[in-house]
Structure 1
Amino acid sequence: MGINDRQLHRFCYRVSSTDKLSQVAQKIIDTIEQPITLQDTMVCIGSSIGISIYPEDGIDSAELLKNSDIAMYSAKQNGRNIYQYFEPSMTEAAAKRLVLEANLKQAVKQKQFINHYQPIVDAHCGKAVGVEMLMRWPTGQGMISPMEFIPLAEDLNLIISMTEIALKTALQDLIVWRGFRNDFYLSINISASHFSKGELVTFITSILKEFDLPTSAIKLEVTESAFITEPERAIDKMNQLKALGIKLSLDDFGTGYSSLSYLRLLPLDVIKIDRSFISNIGENNADEAIIEATISLAQKLGMSCVAEGAETKEQIDFLVSRNCHYIQGYFYSKPLPCKQIISLLKENKLEYISARESL
């Protein structure tokens, strides 16, 4: 049995049936999932378990460990916090992963990644106020989904260098955009690795100085994973960034375990409401209630909200009527290359303005 999230531990069990082994695996997952308190902060972690069985999946320890590793990575890809028995078909998937790893490393060396940018629109005035930077990987077979290469880049410790290269290009683009709209900003996703391994504060300070941009020109987006493993270190770095005048956003709010407990500790300025809630506006009363509660909570904490994934007028009208007027989604624009953002700013046309009054 293999368990992993950054570190690997292996256990050997002699059991009478696979049902017993499943019970052991689930008990491990349930135990690890239990919240713990570190320095007055509630922390939740998860695990992924891969299982191989002797002699069906291997006749020696090397083969059994290899196959449990393959099953474990399959568990991670299928959502984490689950266990997975090895299946021969997984070997093909593991081989594909090895090819993707090699291609990814080569792509980083050759700087094959490009930036696209999705506008964030103020629905009160119908104008884009900023963009979110999104990395794209073009290949001869088409674009590879970020859902595939971003988690892999994090596993291979490549995400820091990839983000730094992308950010330098993005800031060059931002200088051009701010010539049309001088308060236009760039929002950047920061991974957990930036907090645990990288010199994030030093890098951000130096790159803004290099491009002669104020701290108000960028916003940093973080997810819960950035501060779950080493919360004190992450919070310290966030406070340093906040002291510099950089605004911080909590991304994918409501989809993790510990968001509420961290809101009182983190120096946040913006909460981004996840698209999974936005897509159900008009269809799911529970999701609408969560959106309303999130907006109300943000206001009481002195934060603003950005709604991700809005695709219809009805969704935008609902959000604006609840005092969330910063909108990011395909209704206004898909992610665009730099030249199309320039065209958008040159045209300076009004986008849809919601006439809904706040409730």
Structure 2
Amino acid sequence: AYVTASVGIADADRLHDAIREADTAMYHAKSLGAARYAFFDESLRARATSAIETATALRGAIRRGELEVYYQPIIETTSRTTVVYEALLRWNWQGRVRTPNEFIPIAESTNLIKEIGEWVLRTAMSDLVTLRSDGQDVTMSVNVSPMQLRDDSLPVIVGRLLDTYGLHGADLALEITESVLIDDMGTAKSVLDRLAAMGVLIVLDDFGIGYSSLSRLRAMPIALLKIDKSFVHQIGTSESDTQLIRAIVAMASALPVATVAEGVETEEQAAIIEALECRFAQGFLFGRPAPVAHWLLESAETRAGR
């Protein structure tokens, strides 16, 4: 085994400031890759200040009603019917709607992720009940953070919410990233096995851009693989990416696991995805993320024959 070090360097008058700033620089060095060093400078100071401001505002976001869940459809490729909605968190702050990559890392670093994650699960399940009452035969998929999967209470929380809304485990899918398979497989597997035993579907998001091995993939109770949009965008123009998707679909069917193609934006891409026997697809061609009211209105317009 090889051991590497990440080093943060700071120059400050007070010991407390030097430790804090060196720590900030060290985490920046870690983000650059293994065996790096970084100096604390004004850009890192501004970034640290912004992170503190964001974390402070995020603490009251639920109470102030600033968080909202948008939904994007996942369709069955042969019928073009919506079968799942993916729940996507948004934060209305300072006059702008922010996406998860702008604030979830801060929520994870400040332990706010458990409260926010539970709120998203509750909201998504409540909206699923609303969508089904509207006549839509769909299930719900919710992203979970690696931090949530290190918490043994997640299956308990999910079970309680399923009971609250009269749902079954199979009505819910939880999306995880490949980093879970790499960074903390032991704890994550225990939590995922408990969730899978409840009937909850486990989805591996952004497949193909990480480094998880096939043996690790087989060890987890994965039900679906989502093929990363970076491959889908190139099909039709890049034969290698088309063949790669073909290989992923073949591998998944052997596991056996279903596949979802992410980022489908054109009819040409949709046709190729269907020809490759990828069972499900998601992307702007089928719908952009929108509040639940949008999908209820679209459903009403469809029934009215518009």
* TM-score over 0.5 (shorter chain): yes
1:198 offset after TM fit, Å? 4.5
* Structure 2 residue aligned with 1:219: 173
Aligned residue runs from structure 1 range 218-237, under 5 A: 218-237=172-191
Contact 1:193/1:226 (<8 A) preserved: no
**Whole-Å separation in 1 of the counterparts to 2:273 and 2:213:** 21
- Give the gaps of 5 or more residues in structure 1: 1-29, 34-46, 350-359
Structure 1 residue 290: Cα displacement: 2.4
**Other-structure match for 1:210:** 164
Amino acid at match of 2:119: I
CA offset digits 1:121-155 (Å, max 9, x no partner):
11211221111001100123211231110111111
CA contact (8 A) 2:229 2:261 kept: yes
Q: Summarize the alignment of residues 1-359 of structure 1 with structure 2, pairs less than 5 Å apart.
A: 31-32=2-3, 49-52=6-9, 57-58=11-12, 61-75=15-29, 80-81=33-34, 83-181=37-135, 183-348=137-302
* Alignment deviations for residues 196-240 of structure 1 (CA, whole Å, 9 cap, x no partner): 125111111111111111222111111133344432232122222
Whole-angstrom distance in 2 between the partners of 1:330 and 1:285 = 23
Deviation at 1:75, TM superposition (A): 4.1
**Distance across 1 between alignment mates of 2:16 and 2:302:** 63
Percentage of matched positions with identical amino acids: 32
Aligned to 1:8: none
Aligned equivalents of 1:333, 1:302: Cα separation in 2: 28
Partners of 1:183 and 1:336 lie apart in 2 by 18
Distance 1:63 1:180, change over 3 A: closer
Q: What whole-Å deviation, never above 9, does each CA across 1:237-271 have from its counterpart, x for those lacking one?
A: 22222222221111111222214232210111100
TM-score of the pair, normalised by structure 1: 0.77
Q: Tell me the distance in 2 between the aligned counterparts of 1:266 and 1:330.
A: 30
| Equivalent-residue separation in structure 1 for 2:246 and 2:7 (angstroms) | 40
Go from structure 1 to structure 2 and tell me whether the alpha carbon gap of 1:112 and 1:50 turns closer, same or farther (over 3 Å shift).
Answer: farther
2:8 touches 2:29 (CA, 8 Å); kept in 1?
Answer: no
Q: Which has the larger radius of gyration?
A: 1
**1:184 Cα deviation after fit:** 0.5
Q: RMSD of aligned C-alpha atoms?
A: 2.3
Q: Is the 8 A contact 1:253 1:259 kept in 2?
A: no
TM-score (norm 2): 0.90
Q: Cα distance 1:288–1:339, how it changes in 2: closer, same or farther (>3 A)?
A: same
- The one-letter amino acid of 2:105's match is P
Q: Aligned AA for 1:337?
A: P
Corresponding residue SS for 1:107? coil
Conservation of the 8 A alpha-carbon contact between 2:152 and 2:191: no
C-alpha separation between the residues in 2 aligned to 1:192 and 1:80? 19
Count of residue pairs brought into register by the alignment: 302
1:174 Cα offset (Å): 0.8
SS state of the match for residue 143, structure 1?
strand
Alpha-carbon separation, structure 1, partners of 2:16 and 2:237: 51
- Using the TM superposition, give the Cα deviation of residue 59 of structure 1 relative to its aligned residue in structure 2, in angstroms: 5.4
The SS at the match of 1:219 is strand
Q: CA deviation at 1:342?
A: 0.9
